[in-house]
Structure 1
Amino acid sequence: MRAQAAFEYMVIVGIVLAFLIPVWLYVSSLQARAGEELSISYAENAVQRIAKTADLVFSQGSGARVQTQVYIPGGVESSAIIGRSVILNLRTGQAVSNVTALSIATLNGTIPTSEGSYQMTMEAKTGYVQVTAS
């Protein structure tokens, strides 16, 4: 009789595990996807903020200077400022997402790739905007 009860408990535990494991895997994949989407959103916010602040400074003319706070998410593989483009290349899962924003001004400078909050300084020069992080 005890062997039958033990077997029944094992069957119940097996059925519960057969139900819980797929649910846990599904929830884990949702969590990973949400984390990736959040990182992309942070990256989009960062490049847009840099581009819009550079536009503001450029419209004010040479000598204008503005600082803005920008959060760079984790997983950034590379960053670049090329011409009028602000670019962050972000590792998401198995792929690399390219997040880009355009400015009306020609830009010069660099963007950090390490995760964290940075004070970005945009300064209008003759014909371009200098972007620096501190």
Structure 2
Amino acid sequence: MRIAALWLLWITLLPADAAPYHPAAGRCTGSDRGSSDWPPSNRAPAACQTSQRQVYRRLQLNGVPEQGALRANNGSFSVQVDLHPPLQPSHRLRLLLDGEPHGAPGRGPQLHLSNLDRGLHRLAVQVLEGEQVLQQSAEISFFLLRAHR
């Protein structure tokens, strides 16, 4: 019995190779598989395969009250696009009204909406390169007040 206890104590004192790793979630986890004995690679990291698309740090609509009412008796009004850094030459801005494209894409920071029906609407702006959507702003909900004819 004494020999078995000493043998078990000796086994528990042997060094174990635990390899900590950090998964995508960022929580440190351990493994009993140990670390790799491969030498470090001398190769340069692969070049990034993404194109030179610029991500806009700020892309938002101004001139529309969020969750508020907007009066436009003829159903037409303009909105300002707040964009930083400035729009690239190959990029265009397009409005999305209730999830559907509204009007032709343009370059200006001021975009025009016309002939909207009264009621609740959702509005967002997209940055396009050709026909491809690069980025989209958050949707703004507003209620359009329009004179009844």
Taking structure 2 as the reference length, the TM-score comes to 0.30
Using CA pairs below 8 Å that are at least 6 residues apart, which structure has the higher relative contact order? 1
Taking structure 1 as the reference length, the TM-score comes to 0.32
More strand by share: 2
More helix by share: 1
